[in-house]
Structures are given as C-alpha cells and as structure tokens.
Amino acid sequence: MASQPETGSAERRRFSRRLVNSRVKLTHGTIGSIMAKTRDLSDSGAYIECYPVPKLPVGAHIKMHLLDSSNPQIAFNMKVVRTSHDGVAMVFIDYEFEGQRYSMDVLRKQWAKQYRKKKR
C-alpha cells in the first residue's frame, strides 16, 4: 500500500505513484547486492520495501534492477532520499544499458513511443 502524507504536511510530489509489487536487486559497495520489492513507483522514483533496511545515508547512490520488467538488464542509478523502518525511498538519476548511460528523459520518450504504437 502506498504511504500517505503525514497529517498537516503538503503533498510535494510532481508525479503520481502507482502501487507496483515487483522484485528488485539493489547493489551498493557497502551492502553488496540484496533482493527486495517495490511498494510504489512513479516517474521520479520508487519506494523499496526490504528487511533488514540497508544502512545507507540520505544522498547515497545505489544501483537498482527491476527484475520483473521487460528489460531486467537495465540498471537504474538511484539516490536515497529517505529511509524508514520498512524500506528506502529513492529517486531516479539515470540508467545504464549495454554499457551506455542515458538520461531518464530518453527512457520516458521510448515508453511514450511504444505506448502510442500499442494504441493504434
């Protein structure tokens, strides 16, 4: 279930979140690789449920693979923005595919193009 904003706090999200339960692999130099799952996903980031929650500081960069996606070999470069008792909130920085690094805008354009083709 998606977390709700705290009472009295303003909603600051620019992108809506979708409840997505997908397996992920997180990789960082201090924690190695761990398996976890997404709780929600948006165009700007993801909340990852994991236990135990890795001890990573806000601002840490971590690599994430969406294992249940159509392209699980894509490595998303993420930045930790918050940790809690049951997981980690991260924002997308960019992604890597076949040795090349791309901006998230490139991926969004590809998804939009594929979506338009499916609608025809």
Q: What is the pLDDT of residue 70?
A: 87
Tokens of 97: 């595919």
Q: Worst-scoring range by mean pLDDT, 8-22, 37-51, 78-92, 102-116?
A: 8-22
What amino acid is encoded at 11 in this protein? E
What is the CATH T-level fold of the domain 18-119, as seen in this structure? Answer: Thrombin, subunit H (2.40.10)
Is the predicted pLDDT of residue 86 greater than 80, yes or no? yes
Residue pair 80/31 in contact (Cβ under 8 Å)? The answer is no
Domain ranges of the chain: 18-119
- Per-state percent for the chain, helix, strand, coil, to nearest 5: 15, 45, 40
Residue pair 53/80 in contact (Cβ under 8 Å)? The answer is no
**What pTM did the predictor assign?**
0.77
Distance CA 112, CA 53 (A): 34
Name the nearest CA neighbour of 36 among 49, 45, 47, 27.
49
